[in-house]
Structure 1
Amino acid sequence: MDQVGGYRLVALLGEGGMGRVHLGRAASGRLVAVKTVREHLAADPLFRERFRREAAAARSVAGPFTAAVLDADPEAVRPWLATEFCTGPTLTGAVSALGPPAPGELAALGAALAEAVAAVHAAGLVHRDLKPSNVVVTRDGPMVIDFGIARAAAEESLTGSGEIVGSPGFIAPELLTGAGEPGPAVDVFALGALLAYAATGHPPFGTGPVHQVLYRTTHGVPDLGGVPAGGPDAAYGWRELLGACLSREPGDRPTVAEVLSTCAGWTDGDPWWEREAMTGLIRRREEEIAALVAEAPPGTPSNTPDVPDESGVSEESDEAPAPGAADVTTTRAVAGAKSGTAVSGGRGADRRRFLRWGGAALAGAAAAGTVAWLASLTGNGDADGAESGASASPGPYARGRVLWTRDTGGARPLRHGGALYLVGTGALTRLDARSGAVVWSHRTDDITEAVPGPELVHVLRVSPYVGASVTTLDAANGAVRWSAETVRRNPRRPPELLGFGSDDMGDGTEGAFSVAAGVLCLVTYSSYATAWHRRTAPGATWRAYGYDARTGDALWFHQGGKAGVVGMHQAGGRIAVATARTSFSADGEENGEPLAVLRAADGTPERAIPGGSRRPEAHPGSRGVHHYAARGRLSAVDLATRRTLWSREPDGEADDVTITPAAVAGLVHSGTYDTLSALDAKTGRTRWSVTGVGPPEDGVPLVSGGLVYGVGRAPEGEETPDGRPAWGVHARNAATGALVWAAETGPATAVVTGPDPADSGEDADGESAESGGREGTAGAGLVHVSVDGVLSTFAAPEVRA
């Protein structure tokens, strides 16, 4: 199909169950988005009638913040609709890239969107699907797109009355319960949810499975944490306004005119879309569209491959994450990815040439805006408004190239500088990171942990028969430097505890250790995790042994209380030992046992912090901020004061959420099984979030060299049968979430990179700290991925500016 209704088709942007969307060109040179519908819908008289009525009404929508419907032909063999083509990121992409706007900027956004909704209502329509991915931020302001014409008509034709039209998290409760018809109050509710998302970076009814979001919408209260409480003189009242918009009862909501009037009175300074950061995003979108148009042969439609259908959502809704901030260059990326080559985006296209080609009447449209039109037509909309959708529509990215693979027998990979270690229960093996060749292997039973340094590698062994012991190896050749095989013979133990005297309750069969500032601390204990453990080791205490990390000389001994050990942390000349006498309390929270703090130099107890065992890193001697994921919430804690700086619910499911403990470049990264997010380290606000990708199975996203690594679905949108993102490893720009690199590996259990020597986790004495360099930058240029006992090594990607 070369032409539709006088519009020459330039590029196929995508297709789905409802139809196709093309980039089209009018005779005047103006670029438009042309929607065509499927034959089976065109054959339905009810669909055509509804399409006819709503297309006619939509053409009368006139407002500075609505994308105009330019032309339509409901009587064509394949009905079609031509709309204004808007250049800029979606609101989802803008908030993800730049963070929430300031209160005054939010007010300008709210006033513009309220004016757009008022224009839709004045035409006798109700939008019914107002959400962040249906708002494109252009040079002229936010443009509300997609009045739901084709999609609503198709759904009504296919399903009959009573079907819910909208996106989870933005659908008014009366539509979910069947208690009301889609009137103007429906759009006020969606507008309130949209502005709450813009203000906080997350939707007010959370994310996750559709049925959970819908349940929270009808039975819960909106989460307005992070919404500004007031302006300079507490004059904004945002929480009150948005809370009213999100009222369950339609009659309790303000009118669109009232929202417009209120927001207009709160505006302050230049509008958000005229600020330099936003205009920069818009310029990049223009250049990407210019590249797409420049590649199309003159006079013919583009041979660009179709954008895959990204649905694959629960049966309660046919919504899936929209490609918020993604590029139209997806089509070229798909072609390159299928050939296994690195993909480039043609960013050098001449923007001025594009604007001349497109004509001065171009109202502007970004790839994201265009594909958002596709999403609404095909039913692939934004399910919750919190995701940037980068996983659904990738821009230019490189494909991973395997350098070598090795069967590890399930051993865990660990990097330190140029060394790669495999930590297995029966051996610790050092490999050359670049070749995979074995440098040395130390074979012994019951290895549970290893802490490498530049000269020494400390190995913890925990035997169910002998208990805990430490062996220290030469990092260069694997030779044993010293060992503490039998702690009962430690000369620092009191005389009454030496040997196997009757007064000795034993050291228990569990162990943990830490290394910092030249001191190695070994802790032995008995587990208190279950009733069986407590019965078999009644009254067992934990014991701490201090050793010189280089020589193995015994420095001190300390006997603690009757409890098991659940964590350790060593910093600032202190060793904190977290204990617990049970596993979990009735409310699912670890018991608030005291945190014992010892002086690392001599083992002297310094203090006990009540309830401190939940956060062993927070003790005297610690500095900075540590981030926690516990009991379904994320939080930031000042370690020196133990004060909680912020706390919030995660993006995605809360049950398995993890978070990077330390901030990198002002961001921390959290993940659930299928959501990866970047949060502002100071406020906890979401900076970007993508679905279809989560952390490796070992739990925490890996941040290295300006990238964050996770396990995701295929960038082209393929999905595993169980819905888990298990295709392979993604490397995403840590600041923006944009896909930089991907490798088809399968469900990775661990991803490690080579740290930069300047950030290798070494302490002042040259010994490795507990992190082992996990959070260093990818200075060695390698990425190691462990899947089902096989370790694959790839050349590390580079961050694009």
Structure 2
Amino acid sequence: MREIGGYRLVALLGEGGAGQVHLARAGSGRLVALRTVHTRLAADPRFRERLRREVVAARAVDGPYTAGVLAADPDAEPPWLATAYCAGPSLSEAVSALGPLDEGQLAALGALLAQALTAVHAVGLVHRDLKPANVIVTRDGPKVINLGIAKGISGSGDDSTVGSPGFIAPEQLTGDAENGPAADVFALGGLLALCATGRNPFGAGSAPKVLHRTLHDEPDLDGVPGTDWREFLGRCLARDPAERPTVAEALAWCAARGTPEPWWEREPVTGLIRQHEEATAELVAAAPVPEEPVPTPEAPAAVPDTAAATPPTTRRRFLLWSASGAVAATGISTAVALEGGGNASGTATDTKTTSWPRGRTVWTREVGDLQHGGSLLRHGDALYVHDTTKLTRLDPATGAVRWQRDAHGVTQVVPHDKDLVHIVRADQHGAPTLAALDATTGDIRWETRGPVAELDGSSGLLALGDKVACLVTYESYGTEGRSWRAYGYDLLTGAPLWSHEGTAAGVTALRHAGGRFAIAASTHSPSDPLYVLRASDGHQETTIEGGALRPDAHPGAVGTGYFAAGEAVSAVDLTTRTTLWSRGVTASVSVTPTATGELVHAGSPTELCALDATTGRTRWLRTDVARITTPGSTPPLLANGHLYATGPEPGTGQPALHALDPATGKLVWATPFEGHGEVYGTAGDGLVHIYAGTTLTTFSAPS
């Protein structure tokens, strides 16, 4: 078994741009996180000097709520350092499970973090990057990690700008004031505001946008409990460092308001901690047993050696943490590098190493524009790419073109079984038409000659029943007073079956369930109706007043459906249209229409979450990743047993595809992708297809 510095390596936790991080064991049995530096970095004398400074800074800090460096050798080949191994979820994961903190819970956390900062400042250092990912919640309480980025208050140490969007203080960006303890107070205020509201006080989006708001906008403290807390956090987040409270004042303020029983000692947080401990126990149990004892490194311990006598079969173990957490031994953790003073010309990066494997790129190709009326569809063994000019069928496994045809005017593509692909084509000078293509060749099997053009609108929606294709034509409400019209065609032959004239209204949705087509009419009113037609003959069976907002809920539907409206998610009995529960969320989201594994998943461009399908309670929330959808407002991409998202790649900070465990939100694997702009995706048969810019890339899980 390999050793470094007298530490026996147990398992690789992760690898990033700076090096590797291993779970390791000292001769005493103590588990540590041991980081080694890549050879190419170690060859730079400036890097080694920086690492020496980090080690000296971190080892000077000693406190019950910090995880410091235990031993290091910056001059070794390769350079390495070992830190106390913290067992538990990141602060963001713990708060997601618990929900936004109330005043007493918030005060307990604030007092503890202020006490940790006091230990850092007592030796003449500032942390510079206090954020949820740098706080690990253990059974002994939250621990502040990544002390290796600390810098002397006098200015000695690394001269680069360090911090993370939403938590970095304005003076760290502009250089207008000394980078002192007040910068950590600013980060503390941002972190507590996030824990109270579930969102960053300076908003979401790209790093430059968040940094611009930090410099020019007031923090968003809506939802912070109580006027006294809003006033306190407003002072912590003041742009002028002189207007912020000192750490001692913040500690006293929070300590006077904390709850007697800390929330991290109660479920569900204690359950998360146990999960982390048990997972590490499995890593330790699977490690090879050394033939000879390993000498204990001669280095002082910065925290009590509670793991030294821990037998490998007990529950008091340590866990490799989730993607939203961090390894305490990562040392260098430059979250945002800025050039030119406060000019946000740098890119957001995170050089922390992680344990997550990288997904495999299967193929990539350039395609047309999908962002203006296009679509990306996976259907069985076919991948359909519909851009503004053409419809292409690709082989999902290879990217090979099976066929391609003109798609000018095509507004909707709906595959059916393995034989047909139905398309709706809108003509500016007439009503929409419907055609069925041979799925193998792309040739037209049948097409309509068009409804009565002078009566029909120029827009169309298509839904497929068991045997009937229903095309609805309409104009936007208020345009010439046109009525919507529904037409039924034999799905396989195109033979006309029936027609139905509706009311003067637009149409926002068309659904099929239980032998019925449901048509959501739009007059821009909350009472907009849902019209339910029998698929067999087009007869209007019923009208549901106010039903347009939930087109899947009608007499032909069964089960429970989930709907998002504004910043709320609702569960509805589809047959009776009874609301079972409704819960507020922190952003305008789209939601999976059905439950998977007793969870319903919701996502926005700034977050993903899972709600209990029965109660609506938040099971987990991630604000560091964003949903992936297909073009248009559709549910988060859930397929292949994974929930797919976008976010920074662990270890590099590059835009990446994240495959998450839908039950826990934890990262399973990640991989960077090319392209820019809005990201769309579809998936099937173990493959996930991602579109960004004009680049389509297919990935699979790691081998």
TM-score (ref. length: structure 1): 0.60
Counterpart code for 1:646: G
**Ranges in structure 2 where 5+ consecutive residues have no aligned partner:** 296-305, 339-347
Q: How does 1:642-681 map to 2 (within 5 A)?
A: 646=584, 648-649=586-587, 660=592, 664=596, 665-670=598-603, 672=605, 677-680=608-611
* Structure-2 separation of matches of 1:50 and 1:458: 64
Matched, 1:600 2:533: yes
Show the counterpart of 1:523: 472
* Structure-1 separation of matches of 2:474 and 2:362: 45
Please state how far the C-alpha of 1:198 moved relative to its aligned partner: 3.2
Aligned residue-pair number: 643
Q: Give the CA RMSD over aligned residues.
A: 6.3
The correspondence for 1:198, drawn from 195, 200, 217, is 195
> Match of 1:191, SS?
helix
**For each residue in 1:628-666, what CA deviation from the matched residue of structure 2 results, as whole angstroms up to 9, or x when unmatched?**
6xxxx765367869999535447xxxxxx8664556433
8 Å Cα contact 2:464/2:512 also seen in 1: yes
* Structure-2 separation of matches of 1:34 and 1:724: 27
Matched, 1:132 2:69: no
> Match of 2:167, SS?
coil
Please state how far the C-alpha of 1:212 moved relative to its aligned partner: 1.6
Counterpart code for 1:114: A
Please state how far the C-alpha of 1:143 moved relative to its aligned partner: 1.4
* Structure-1 separation of matches of 2:57 and 2:351: 32
Please state how far the C-alpha of 1:65 moved relative to its aligned partner: 1.6
Matched, 1:216 2:213: yes
Please state how far the C-alpha of 1:356 moved relative to its aligned partner: 4.2
Closer, same or farther in 2 for the Cα pair 1:222/1:435, shift >3 Å? closer
Show the counterpart of 2:237: 246
8 Å Cα contact 1:131/1:382 also seen in 2: no
Please state how far the C-alpha of 1:483 moved relative to its aligned partner: 7.4
Show the counterpart of 2:274: 280
8 Å Cα contact 1:293/1:354 also seen in 2: no
Counterpart code for 2:277: R
Q: How does 1:692-771 map to 2 (within 5 A)?
A: 694-695=628-629, 700=634, 701-704=636-639, 706-710=641-645, 724-725=655-656, 731-740=659-668, 750-753=681-684
Counterpart code for 2:485: A
Q: Which shows bigger deviation, 167-176 or 257-266? A: 257-266
Counterpart code for 1:688: R
Matched, 1:556 2:500: yes
Please state how far the C-alpha of 1:138 moved relative to its aligned partner: 1.9
Counterpart code for 2:473: T
* Structure-1 separation of matches of 2:683 and 2:233: 43
8 Å Cα contact 2:620/2:665 also seen in 1: no
Show the counterpart of 2:431: 467
Closer, same or farther in 2 for the Cα pair 1:130/1:473, shift >3 Å? closer
8 Å Cα contact 1:48/1:74 also seen in 2: yes
Closer, same or farther in 2 for the Cα pair 1:158/1:15, shift >3 Å? farther
Show the counterpart of 1:507: 456
Closer, same or farther in 2 for the Cα pair 1:294/1:239, shift >3 Å? farther
* Structure-1 separation of matches of 2:381 and 2:9: 55
Closer, same or farther in 2 for the Cα pair 1:478/1:50, shift >3 Å? closer
8 Å Cα contact 1:42/1:78 also seen in 2: no
TM-score (ref. length: structure 2): 0.67
* Structure-1 separation of matches of 2:198 and 2:582: 21
Show the counterpart of 1:327: none
Closer, same or farther in 2 for the Cα pair 1:541/1:72, shift >3 Å? same
Please state how far the C-alpha of 1:129 moved relative to its aligned partner: 2.2
Closer, same or farther in 2 for the Cα pair 1:706/1:197, shift >3 Å? farther
**For each residue in 1:63-115, what CA deviation from the matched residue of structure 2 results, as whole angstroms up to 9, or x when unmatched?**
32222454678999999765433233332444456655676554443333233
8 Å Cα contact 1:710/1:731 also seen in 2: yes
Counterpart code for 1:205: F
* Structure-2 separation of matches of 1:49 and 1:437: 52
Matched, 1:145 2:145: yes
Show the counterpart of 2:621: 687
Please state how far the C-alpha of 1:222 moved relative to its aligned partner: 2.9
8 Å Cα contact 1:114/1:257 also seen in 2: yes
* Structure-2 separation of matches of 1:467 and 1:208: 40
Closer, same or farther in 2 for the Cα pair 1:188/1:576, shift >3 Å? same
> Match of 1:118, SS?
helix
Matched, 1:626 2:563: yes
Q: How does 1:316-331 map to 2 (within 5 A)?
A: none
Please state how far the C-alpha of 1:283 moved relative to its aligned partner: 1.4
Q: How does 1:566-581 map to 2 (within 5 A)?
A: 567-568=509-510, 575-577=518-520
**Ranges in structure 1 where 5+ consecutive residues have no aligned partner:** 231-235, 302-350, 489-503, 529-533, 581-590, 651-656, 754-780
8 Å Cα contact 1:434/1:782 also seen in 2: no
Please state how far the C-alpha of 1:749 moved relative to its aligned partner: 5.9
8 Å Cα contact 1:21/1:35 also seen in 2: yes
Q: How does 1:229-240 map to 2 (within 5 A)?
A: 229=225, 238-239=229-230
Counterpart code for 2:569: A
* Structure-2 separation of matches of 1:395 and 1:52: 26
**For each residue in 1:48-69, what CA deviation from the matched residue of structure 2 results, as whole angstroms up to 9, or x when unmatched?**
99669746xx53x443222245
8 Å Cα contact 1:172/1:248 also seen in 2: yes
Please state how far the C-alpha of 1:688 moved relative to its aligned partner: 2.3
Q: How does 1:89-104 map to 2 (within 5 A)?
A: 89-95=89-95
1 or 2, which has the higher helix percentage?
1
Q: How does 1:262-281 map to 2 (within 5 A)?
A: 262-263=254-255, 265-267=257-259, 269=261, 271-273=263-265, 275=267, 276-281=270-275
Please state how far the C-alpha of 1:737 moved relative to its aligned partner: 3.1
* Structure-2 separation of matches of 1:791 and 1:77: 38
Please state how far the C-alpha of 1:118 moved relative to its aligned partner: 2.8
**For each residue in 1:250-294, what CA deviation from the matched residue of structure 2 results, as whole angstroms up to 9, or x when unmatched?**
455445445445356432546414544133233135326526864
